Structure 1
Amino acid sequence: MAVFADVETEEPAFAARVRASFDAHRHTFLATLRADGSPRISGIEMHFVLGEPWLAGMPGSVKFTDLRRDPRFALHSGSSEPDAFDADAKLSGRAIPVTDAAERTRYATAAGIPSGHMGFELFRVELDQVVLVALNEEKTALVVSSWRPGRGLTRTTRT
């Protein structure tokens, strides 16, 4: 597993485009697995804090119940309408619950969460794949770029 800093170190331009895709949309889409193994899709506001993607939100949310039971997830940045489409991004890996008070405080301070407002669920993200889907310069084909730890970046063009 990797962290986003690994992507930034190995492929800084790719990482910047992935982050820009997530920053372009306030609401993102989180896929988790229900207890019976079927998929669940949930909205979530994911933010990069301290340079990393984190999953945070209201306690008792079924998406967090799913992640505590099975940490595998996929996160989609959302997409612009076709006329304005530039790129969208996906992260997948494992979400690890953060219960350590010092780490939660460090996150909250960096995220601008006022002290005394620590009643949120928090998960650190470990990545096994980062994907960017974008148009080529001519806007005639999709370019799918995929980064995996130990494998690096690959690109596929689809017309």
Structure 2
Amino acid sequence: MTRPLGPGEARTRQRQRRQLVFITIAALLGGAIGFTTAFFDKGDGSLFTGDWEALSLDPALAVILAIALVVGFMVLPLYGFTQVDEIKREYNLIGFTGGCIAVITGFPVWAVLYAGGFVPAPHAFGVFAIGFAAMMVSYPIARFVR
């Protein structure tokens, strides 16, 4: 015999289901963007090796992918903030702030190290990778170190 769920438990389960659906939608969108880019690329470019100059897409497809990227990188995260509780929202905001600070700091540091001959010239994917990696590090720090 099971006892009925209390209102807090029911709300938590509902939130967990919504989070699973949200993550699934984000993963499907990311997979669709990656697959579409790879499948319809008419050139020899690659987003991961830094030679995106050789990437060639139909203009209409490029616009569709750009819109999908805006949805995936901006709309979904902002919507996600409205769907989580205050504590998780705070952790996420700290993670996003860490990524932003890393980009704001990382590019000038990279530029002066390049000027000194220590590293190759800064490029867009590297700046993106700095921000992404910093978010991935900032979130667990906010979550587990505080």
TM-score bracket for the superposition, by shorter chain length: under 0.3
Q: Is the radius of gyration larger for structure 1 or structure 2?
A: 2
The alignment's TM-score, normalised by the length of structure 1, stands at 0.23
Select the structure that is richer in helix: 2
Could you tell me the TM-score, scaled by structure 2's length? 0.24
